[in-house]
Amino acid sequence: MSEQSPAAPAAQQRYQVRFDVGVDGARRVAEGADVLVWADQTRADASGPAIPADVLVLAPRVVEAGLADAAAVAAWILDEQERLGRRAYVAIVAAGRADAGFAADDVLAAGAVVDALTGLGIDDTSPEAAVACAAFAGLRRAVAHLATASVEGREAASAGVDPAALRRAAQHDATATARVLTPR
């Protein structure tokens, strides 16, 4: 980024950890990011990635995240930063609803990743990322219930997703493996 043409404020480029919502949000915060984290809590248990193809090409590395693997994703990002030998710039995106609406469960999952990164010392967060983190931290004891009771959680259950699977996917830090994808 040159001094003559500064990035738009919505890009949050001055921060190591950025946050936004949806595909348009991914486009805003992914420029210059080494890692894009796609937080889609309702899909956390489903087979195969549900990341839109145009999001997969926005960053060199793309990782899916939910409440169950937030710590694993953060640990993977720290390893990636060590591999790079410099700060890893991270764009964290709450998937949001298909109709471009707010998705509480995705924001909580994204906030869990920010919280785990902060715990590992990656704490140069944008105000937007800090707010997602605070939402998670403030509601930490209720996130499993909130994720399953959210609009997305209830829609998934009414579409036939097993409620027990939704509850398992919403158990914070229940999985030790990050779901890393490579762009096609």
pLDDT (tens digit per residue) in 31-60? 999 999 999 998 755 544 578 888 988 999
Q: pLDDT digits over 59-96, tens only?
A: 999 999 999 999 999 999 999 999 999 999 999 999 99
Residue 133 predicted with pLDDT over 60: yes
Q: Where exactly are the structural domains of the chain?
A: 10-173
CATH number for the region 10-173 comes to 3.40.50
Residue 1 predicted with pLDDT over 80: no
Q: What is the pTM of this model?
A: 0.91
**What's the Cα-to-Cα distance from 134 to each of 129, 149, 152, rounded to whole Å?**
9, 20, 21
CB atoms within 10 A of CB 115: 22
